[in-house]
A and B are shown apart, each in its own frame.
Chain A
Amino acid sequence: MKHIKTLNSRNFKESMKKGGCGECQTSCQSACKTSCTVGNQTCEHKK
């Protein structure tokens, strides 16, 4: 596409099929402790 570049191929919807295993890190444990930052967590299965 000349005018549009898409950065990611992954769509949230795909993770509906196989998600929610709960093995990932709890957000607050990583650094923040005062602000919820879920979007930067990594899926345990993508490591």
Chain B
Amino acid sequence: MIHMFKNNGYNIVLDVNSGCVHVVSDAAYDAIALYEKDPESAKPGIMKKYPEIKEDEADELIGDIESLIEAGQLFSEDIYEEYIDDIADRQTVVKALCLHIAHDCNLACRYCFAGKGEYNGESALMSLEVGKKAIDFLIRSSGGRRNLEVDFFGGEPLMNFEVVKEIVAYGRSLEEKYNKKFRFTLTTNGVLLNDDVLEFANKEMSNLVLSIDGRRELHDRMRPSRNGKGSYDIILPKFIRAAEKRNQTDYYVRGTFTHFNTDFDKDVLHLADLGFKQISVEPVVADPSCDYAITDEDIDKICDSYDRLAKEMLRREKEGNGFNFFHFMIDLEGGPCVAKRLSGCGSGTEYLAVTPWGDLYPCHQFVGNEKFLLGNLDEGIKRTDICSDFKRCNVYSKPKCRDCFAKFFCSGGCAANAYNFNGSINESYDTGCVLQKKRIECALMLKAAVNDY
């Protein structure tokens, strides 16, 4: 299976099952397409379309195509499906927790999937006791895994900062004894981000996610304070300082785009113009009845935005003024192994969310939906049947993923999105799929272009 596309003057052929990416001439592009239909038709086909290509050169081109096939880099077979049961049945351990340290928030973002921080329940802060139990649970449940991850999430985690500090100290105190290494991360809206927090974060947090949507008017429209006023002016100076203090690495400014800014490339560039080097701006996930939800009519505009963004990023990169855009990052040489690509994000198996009172859910997006309550920190996981469903959810269990070129990059997509839009984690979120595919094409174009100069 191959995927061929043209973007920004580059002809790109992705061999789906090997992950090999080929940048090809117009003649080779046509030759590969012809070869796929009928190998015998490729040589006469390109000699007819490209009179300047003589027989020797055509023979060489067909020979090159056949060498790639021989090397398993073109039209390679899917050899993974027969292993999927082994992967689905593998012994998994919990290696990452999302701690809902505060189900409360000092902003009132309109699109908040957490119902303004409270996840459609009552506001609550996680106690140190629950936090310590979460660390103990993670150590106990992680088997031989050394690297463990804990994300402080909310609501707004800095509304419970003292407990964050104490949980980190508790985790660190156990690292040597249990031969574990914690990677802590913090996601914040910035309102309470001060120098004390930054100093602590720079010492202890391997990543900091700073929520900002981009241009002031858009940010303020979607991310107002509780009093209705915008939050942009409050948080921006703090984020600029945070990024500088972290030497422009190991953080993301992270925004959400909606129906109101399908030209979100302007927001990404706004953030880049402010000096941020690590940027992630992502599509909102919302009920279609919301006025800010992305509609089918938005998709072409969003795809155009991705194309414009990729071209501008390339221009800036060539100028020596480049930046990272999370969704265009693809690691062709050192990326994940097949086992990871087949098992996906790990929600419900390796990654769980913990509520302020110690309940366990497959991930932060499912918190508050009682159907997905897995158990709690005192009694452990009781609904192993739900975990098993997540473990068996992969690109081969999703009908739409089987023939999709993006399957080994997105690994079947987000289970929560699939459930929210279709009522089943084994379905696909179609709009998300279209955008994911566009992002992969842009990312591969950027790889081709960077390789070119």
The listed residue (A13, A19, A37, A46) touching B340 by CB distance below 8 A is A19
A5 x B350 contact (CB < 8 A): no
**B:144-195 near A, CB below 8 Å:** 145-147, 149, 151, 153, 183, 185, 187
Query: How far is B95's CA from A20's CA once the two chains are assembled, in angstroms?
Result: 13
Are A29 and B340 in contact, with the CB atoms below 8 A? Answer: no
Q: How far is the CA of A30 from the CA of B415 in the complex (A)?
A: 17
Q: Verify A8–B20 contact, CB threshold 8 A.
A: yes
Contacts of B209 in A (CB 8 A): 31, 33
The A interface is mostly helix, strand or loop, or mixed, namely loop
Known: A19-B339, A28-B345, A28-B363. A46 touches B334 (CB 8 A): yes
Query: Could you say which residues of chain B place their CB within 8 Å of the CB of A6?
Result: 20-23, 68, 73
CB distance from B27 to the nearest CB of A (A): 6
Interface size (B, Cβ < 8 Å)? 92
A32 touches B409 (CB 8 A): no
Q: In angstroms, how far is the closest chain A Cβ from the Cβ of B402?
A: 16
Q: Is B412 an interface residue (CB 8 A)?
A: yes
B100 at the binding interface (Cβ < 8 Å): no
CB-defined contacts of A37 to chain B, threshold 8 Å: 326-327, 409-410
Tally of A-B residue pairs with Cβ under 8 A? 224
Complex interface: stretch among B36-44, B267-275, B278-286, B296-304: B278-286
A11 touches B93 (CB 8 A): no
B-contact 0/1 string along A26-41, CB 8 Å cutoff: 1111111111111111
Contacts A23-B147, A35-B432, A40-B330; is A30 near B207 (CB within 8 Å)? yes
Q: What residues on B are CB-neighbors of A31 within 8 Å?
A: 207, 209, 252, 254, 280, 326
CB-CB under 8 A from B256, the residues of chain A are 34
Q: Which chain B positions have C-beta within 8 A of A46?
A: 331, 333-334
Task: Assess A26 versus B350: contact at CB under 8 Å? Given A39-B408, A46-B333.
Answer: yes
Q: Which residues of B pack against A, CB within 8 Å?
A: 17-25, 27-28, 31, 57, 60-61, 64-65, 68, 72-73, 76, 79-80, 83, 87, 90, 92-93, 95-96, 98, 113, 145-147, 149, 151, 153, 183, 185, 187, 207, 209, 252, 254, 256, 280, 282-285, 326-327, 329-341, 344-347, 350-351, 363-365, 408-417, 432, 436, 440, 443, 447-448, 451
Given contacts A4-B23, A10-B334, A12-B19, 12 further A-B contacts (CB under 8 A): A3-B28, A4-B65, A6-B23, A18-B337, A19-B339, A20-B87, A25-B183, A26-B149, A33-B153, A37-B326, A39-B410, A40-B330
